[in-house]
Amino acid sequence: MKKRHNRIFAVVRKEYLHIIHDYRTLFIVFLMPVAQLIIFGYALNMEIQRVDMAVIDRARSPKAQKLIEEFGGSSYFNLFYYDGRYADIETLFKTRRAKVIMTIPRDFDRRLLRRSMVPVQFLIDASDANAATLIRNYCNQIITNFNLKTGNRTALPFDLRRTIYFNPNMKSAYFFVPGLIALILIMISALLTSVTIAREKETGTMEQILVSPVRPREIIIGKVLPYILLSFMDGAVILAIAKFVFQVPFTGSLLLLILLSVLYIITALSMGLMISTVAPTQQVAMMMALTATLLPTIMLSGLIFPIASMPEILQYFTYIVPARFYLLIVRGILLKGSGFVQLLAPSAILAFMSFFLLNVAVRKFSLNLEK
Amino acid sequence: MNRQISVYTDQLTRRFGKFVAVDGVSISVYRGEIFGFLGANGAGKTTLIRMLCGLLKPSGGEGSVAGFDIKEKSEQIKKRIGYMSQRFSLYADLTVTENIHFYGAIYGLAKEEIRQREEELVSQVGLDPYMNQMTKDLPLGIKQRLALGCAMLHNPPILFLDEPTSGVDPQARRGFWNLLYETVQTGKTIFVTTHYMDEAEYCHRVSIMDQGKIIEMGSPSQLKESHKKSTIQDVFIALVGGEKTDQKE
Ligand SMILES: Nc1ncnc2c1ncn2[C@@H]1O[C@H](COP(=O)(O)OP(=O)(O)O)[C@@H](O)[C@H]1O
Ligand SMILES: [Mg+2]
């Protein structure tokens, strides 16, 4: 008994040495997730702030002033008056001084009073089509507000359709960030362990291990343990970003979230190890780990597409995606304040998955002996 | 010399699909012997060693190592053998000491034991100036000595060395063989493969392997005598044909 403990510890220590001797591992663990979370988080957020807007105010009337204030008061726009020649406004776009130009006509007040169409012109720089769509929608929204306030039912000089990803209140962060936590944790964790056994095969150290009395179980446990700590630190960084950068509310128990996140991490690490036992090289192992985690997590976990609205066959597939269950946990704790009792089912499933994957890994590892 | 048998095989065979890599090999290696396996690349030396170490299952025949059946008692065998694979297989990104401590620990040695063995190795193998270097930065000759040292940490009675000196200069090889001589003095058995003809001369007994079969076996002097040649190289050429030998040495 004493000796077995010793051997697991020897493997743990060796893995730890690999980690600290290789800055690339630390890079994967700490910089990649931070970059990913921030990039994805903002990209999915679909928002732009402080767009430069040039205002050509021909009316110079109290009503026009009100409209301008409406724009100036929102955080979306950064206003400045343009009083150069109208023929030169193109240079505003070319020099990137403005992304949008608003022109208020001379007879603005008069037309408003007559309740007729008021042709306020918006010229939007569409060199970035997505941004242009967003800007158009912001303008749309502000004009609508203005009309409501002034009691106007005037038709507007542009199309009123809204795009689905329009999301004015940063609410998407609440929805997407927990999903990103699930995605990043599983991806990084599975990547980390996926190379560990494949590397031994590639460098030939596998043979040396296999002729020693160390048991497959000891190797597998010894390889999981140090990475739990590493991935856990990763999780802590990601959660901190979620809280302090994206202001995701932490409604429920932080301790419960941490414990269940460790469980999810173990599932992901086990998956990586299982992959590592079947992959012949590190390259293949990494590809397999990415394939097994990235797409299924994005498509089948409920991260973006609600599971209930999937075709029935796909819904069955979601049951083998660990992120599906972790999402229930992380959204439940962060947004709803769920307790352990409500999350018992997904936690039990993750625990079972880990157990199953680790066992497959041990079995496959022993088979290496006989090939 | 004590006639206790360390490694024994009877018609040991290994097939990969239809291809027969080791074809009915029968040998007895005695305690305290340096037993050499001489053969060109692809002769089946590595496959044979891997079966004896429990890394490959035999397709046919029998074998035992240290008295334990290779098919059933691989756990017992593992504790009693040291193995140096033909590829350098220590952890390149660990230091010399770290490698020694890892291999010591997976063989279940206690810390003090490992430290003691480490000291012995350092003086015996001449690793002194390298202890805290990354293993990948060592000269090849030193790497090979370190690999031998790691294979012997748990003090196994039988050593399997698969082309332990490939790629180093004759002087480094001479040094390595001196180490092997010191080692068999302590009653260990060494089973070594090589494709260097001059190394065969250092073995107590050699067997010449070609296409999976043993085609000649005996002490170097016996072989030279019965084939009326002055070197093992000439014996080998006469038996296998010159084109298959490694002519560099
Ligand atoms: N895992 C394997 N699958 C198929 N063929 C193999 C395998 N391992 C070795 N062989 C073949 O068996 C033959 C003997 O190989 P090996 O034992 O490595 O020879 P040696 O060590 O004498 O150079 C070679 O022709 C090799 O291609
Ligand atoms: Mg070989």
Atom of ligand 1 nearest to the CA of B39: 22
Ligand in nearest proximity to the CA of B86: 2
For CATH 3.40.50.300, list the domain ranges present in chain B.
Answer: 1-80+159-167+191-244
pLDDT in tens, chain A (371 residues): 455 558 899 999 999 999 888 888 788 788 888 888 888 777 665 567 788 999 999 888 888 888 898 888 888 888 999 888 888 888 888 888 888 888 888 888 887 777 666 778 888 887 766 677 778 888 888 888 887 777 655 555 444 333 333 333 435 567 778 888 899 999 999 999 999 999 998 888 989 999 999 888 999 999 999 999 999 988 898 888 888 888 788 888 999 999 999 999 999 999 999 999 999 899 999 999 999 999 999 888 888 777 888 888 888 999 999 999 999 999 889 888 888 998 999 999 999 999 999 999 999 887 665 54
Residue in chain B lying closest to A16 (CA): B94
Which residue has a Cα nearest atom 9 of ligand 1?
A: B47
* DSSP alpha helix (H) spans, chain A: 2-21, 23-26, 32-45, 62-73, 90-94, 108-113, 129-150, 172-203, 205-210, 216-244, 254-278, 282-300, 312-317, 322-331, 344-367
Residue B25 zone, left/alpha/beta (φ > 0; ψ -120 to 50; rest): beta
The pTM assigned to this predicted structure is 0.77
Which residue has a Cα nearest atom 6 of ligand 1?
A: B16
- pLDDT tens digit sequence for A1-10: 455 558 899 9
Alpha carbon of B21 to ligand 1 centroid (Å): 6
Strand order in the sheet with B213-218: B81-84, B158-162, B189-194, B34-39, B205-210, B213-218
If chain B, 249 residues long, is cut into consecutive pieces of 10 residues, what is the mean pLDDT of each piece? Answer: 82 93 93 92 93 92 93 90 90 93 92 90 81 89 89 93 88 88 90 89 91 90 86 84 51
Sketch out chain A's domains with CATH numbers. Answer: 2-44+171-370 (no CATH), 51-150 (3.40.1710.10)
Which helix (DSSP H) or strand (DSSP E) does residue B184 occupy?
helix B170-185
How far is B83 from B46, CA to CA, in rounded Å?
A: 12
How far is B87 from B166, CA to CA, in rounded Å?
A: 9
- How does the average pLDDT of chain A come out, rounded? 83
| Distance set, CA A295 to CA A290, A291, A317 (Å) | 8, 6, 12
The pLDDT score that the predictor gives to residue A285 is 94
Residues of chain B with Cβ-Cβ distance to A10 below 8 Å are 101-102, 105-106
Alpha carbon of B226 to ligand 2 centroid (Å): 28
Q: Which two tokens stand for residue A299?
A: 């498509």
Interface pTM, i.e. ipTM: 0.87
Atom of ligand 1 nearest to the CA of B45: 22
Which helix (DSSP H) or strand (DSSP E) does residue A78 occupy?
strand A77-81
The pLDDT score that the predictor gives to residue B49 is 95
Mutate to test the interface with A, among B79, B91, B111, B150 (most CBs of A within 10 A): B91
Q: Do B55 and A210 touch (CB under 8 A)?
A: yes
Angle at A260 between CA A256 and CA A265, to 5 degrees: 145
Residues of chain A with Cβ-Cβ distance to B81 below 8 Å are 211
Q: Which two tokens stand for residue B45?
A: 């030396």
How far is B199 from A199, CA to CA, in rounded Å?
A: 33
How far A218 CA lies from chain B's nearest CA (Å)? 10
How far B88 CA lies from chain A's nearest CA (Å)? 7
- Chain B contact residues (CB < 8 Å to A): 50, 53-57, 74-75, 78-79, 81, 83, 85, 87-94, 98, 101-103, 105-108, 110, 134, 150
DSSP character at residue B60: E
Sign of CA dihedral B193, B196, B201, B206: positive
Residues of chain B with Cβ-Cβ distance to A370 below 8 Å are 56-57
Residues of chain A with Cβ-Cβ distance to B103 below 8 Å are 208, 212
How far B106 CA lies from chain A's nearest CA (Å)? 5
Q: Do A203 and B105 touch (CB under 8 A)?
A: no
Q: Give me the residue from A9, A209, A211 closest to B53, CB to CB.
A: A211
CATH of B1-80+159-167+191-244, one of 3.40.50.1820, 3.30.70.1170, 3.40.50.300, 3.40.50.2300: 3.40.50.300
B16 lines ligand 1 (CB under 6 A): yes
Mutate to test the interface with B, among A13, A212, A366 (most CBs of B within 10 A): A212
How far is B32 from A62, CA to CA, in rounded Å?
A: 108
Q: Which two tokens stand for residue A274?
A: 């299982």
Q: Do B93 and A18 touch (CB under 8 A)?
A: yes
Alpha carbon of A306 to ligand 2 centroid (Å): 56
The pLDDT score that the predictor gives to residue A247 is 79
B164 lines ligand 1 (CB under 6 A): no
| Half-sphere exposure (Cβ direction) of A136: Cα atoms closer than 13 Å | 18
- HEC string of B207-226? EEEECCEEEEEECHHHHHHH
B151 lines ligand 1 (CB under 6 A): no
Alpha carbon of B50 to ligand 2 centroid (Å): 10
The pLDDT score that the predictor gives to residue A302 is 84
Mutate to test the interface with A, among B49, B106, B109 (most CBs of A within 10 A): B106
